[in-house]
Amino acid sequence: MRKKESNKTQILMGLALILLALLLAFWKLFQSQIVGSPQFLFSSQNVSGIPPQMTTANDARLLHGKAPTLSWIVGKECQQGVQAYLRTATTNPDAALVGTGWIDPTSGQLIQGQSNNCVQGSLSMDSVVQLIHSKGGMAYLTLTIMTDAGASAWTSQQETDYIVQGTTHQSYVDNIVQEVNRLNYDGVIMDLEGANSNAPSIGQYFATFNQKVWAALKPLHKKYGIALIHKLNDHDDYYGINGFEDWRLLGHAADFLVIMALDQSYFSPGPTVSVPWLKQLLAYTLQTMPQMLPHIIWELPFYGATWRLNNGNWVFNSGINDKVAQNLIANIPTTQIDQTASSLNDATSIHVMYTDSSGVQRTVWYPNGKNLVNIVTEFRQILKQTPQFQHSQLAIAFWYRASWEPDDVWTPLNAALTA
């Protein structure tokens, strides 16, 4: 009797083990589908079963990817951004989110972007953070204030007041820390761009506020960075928007910096980024905060710009992305192009000057994938010859990931950054 009972028990145990194995296999398949599928991301607010990315106290790395790059994912084009991100997540898993850390400057509260479209029927970007962690990437919370023109935009004075009050209102810092802890972000990037550069002591206030946020994040082992508007000297042509940022002070207020090396040309036609301009930015960096050079992420544009001639003066018209620019140029009759002022084979920026059907002279400048790789390759060599760089790796960010980014950029870019 005992022998028969033993055989029956063994059979039942065997069947149970087989059933358990089938359930585990099904679960693994289900997990792989939801983690890798952007469709799942857009239909649910949470990706379950994904452990949070853990940053230890002795991990000094800002980026965890095979290539040192940071992808910006913007809430208003979240679905496109995630799809672009997934194409390169194996080698480029690190990303910063814009759309979940908008600031109400009158209260210091963080609010969701009203155009976020990551998840159908929701403004949440939580699932994107979880996706980044599932790919082994660092997820950064971007803090910013909407000061662009528009009915819902905050004023420059409101942003200025937020900075000043942030030096004494602990709740402003607590709100940031609370959001970081809620979703286990790996770090924070402060990206304010609309403060009044002429406000008294605004540079000192901004540095002090950043130091307070940095100090609050240190015990949590979270990285803190500041995005800096491009600057060539203390009072350059863009002082109206960058004057509140004192690089000498901010070089002592964060773990790392993101230099926005984009929008080089505005007042007259030209490239959105070029190597000579990057060398000027580097020179000012060495003048003001040389110790930070190994801890800078250089942000480049995935777009160009257009201008039109008005009463003999060039007027900025709009930004333009790679795919739209290609289509525009392809449809301009050859007879309307000024060949002497145009080049489709320029090493760092394609540019075309033409006269439209209404007789208005226009020009378009934009970097394609090959142009951007050429710029990165040359700038990397310049940094390697700079003693203050201390044999570090050039880290690059692009504004921003979407379906319209150049198709031919990531593979050669990664090779150039890791050669």
Give pLDDT tens digits for 297-344. Answer: 999 999 999 999 999 999 999 999 999 999 999 999 999 999 999 999
- Confidence check: pLDDT of 28 > 80: no
Site of tokens 């990437």: 137
User: Confidence class of residue 43 from pLDDT cuts 50, 70 and 90?
Assistant: very low
Query: Taking residues 133-153, what's their average pLDDT?
Result: 93
CB atoms within 10 A of CB 259: 24
Q: What percent of the chain has pLDDT over 70?
A: 86
* 352 contacts 332 by C-beta, under 8 angstroms: yes
Q: What average pLDDT is seen over the chain?
A: 89
Q: What pLDDT, on a 0 to 100 scale, did the predictor assign at position 152?
A: 82
Instruction: Determine the Cα–Cα distance for residues 15 and 301; give it in Å rounded to an integer.
Output: 59
Instruction: Determine the Cα–Cα distance for residues 132 and 47; give it in Å rounded to an integer.
Output: 11
- Confidence check: pLDDT of 15 > 90: no
Query: Taking residues 77-99, what's their average pLDDT?
Result: 97
Query: Taking residues 217-240, what's their average pLDDT?
Result: 98
- Confidence check: pLDDT of 10 > 50: no
Q: What pLDDT, on a 0 to 100 scale, did the predictor assign at position 58?
A: 63
Q: What pLDDT, on a 0 to 100 scale, did the predictor assign at position 31?
A: 40
User: Confidence class of residue 271 from pLDDT cuts 50, 70 and 90?
Assistant: very high
| CATH of the structural domain 69-260, one choice from 3.40.50.300, 3.40.50.970, 3.20.20.150, 3.20.20.80 | 3.20.20.80
Please give the structure tokens belonging to residue 277: 């301009």
User: Confidence class of residue 52 from pLDDT cuts 50, 70 and 90?
Assistant: low
User: Counting runs of H as helices and runs of E as strands, what totals does the chain give?
Assistant: 13, 14
Query: Taking residues 175-187, what's their average pLDDT?
Result: 98
- Confidence check: pLDDT of 264 > 90: yes
Q: What pLDDT, on a 0 to 100 scale, did the predictor assign at position 322?
A: 95
Query: Taking residues 258-269, what's their average pLDDT?
Result: 97
- Confidence check: pLDDT of 3 > 80: no
Task: Specify the range with the lowest mean pLDDT, choosing from 52-61, 164-173, 396-405.
Answer: 52-61
Site of tokens 């000043």: 164
Side chain identity, residue 354: Y
E strand or H helix that includes residue 132: helix 126-134
Q: What are phi and psi of 46, to 5 degrees?
A: -135, 145
Q: What are phi and psi of 334, to 5 degrees?
A: -55, -35
Q: Could you please report the per-residue DSSP string of 252-297?
A: TS-SEEEEE-----SSSS--SS-HHHHHHHHHHHHHH-GGGGGGEE
Domain ranges of the chain: 69-260, 309-362
Q: What pLDDT, on a 0 to 100 scale, did the predictor assign at position 12?
A: 38
Residue 400: is the preceding peptide bond cis (ω within 30°)?
Answer: yes
User: Confidence class of residue 148 from pLDDT cuts 50, 70 and 90?
Assistant: confident
Burial 167-186 (b: 16+ CB within 10 A, else e): bebeebbebbbebbeebbbb
What angle do helix axes 410-418 and 369-384 make, rounded to 10 degrees?
Answer: 10
Q: How far is CA 346 from CA 57, 301, 349, 363, in A?
A: 46, 17, 6, 15
- Confidence check: pLDDT of 233 > 70: yes
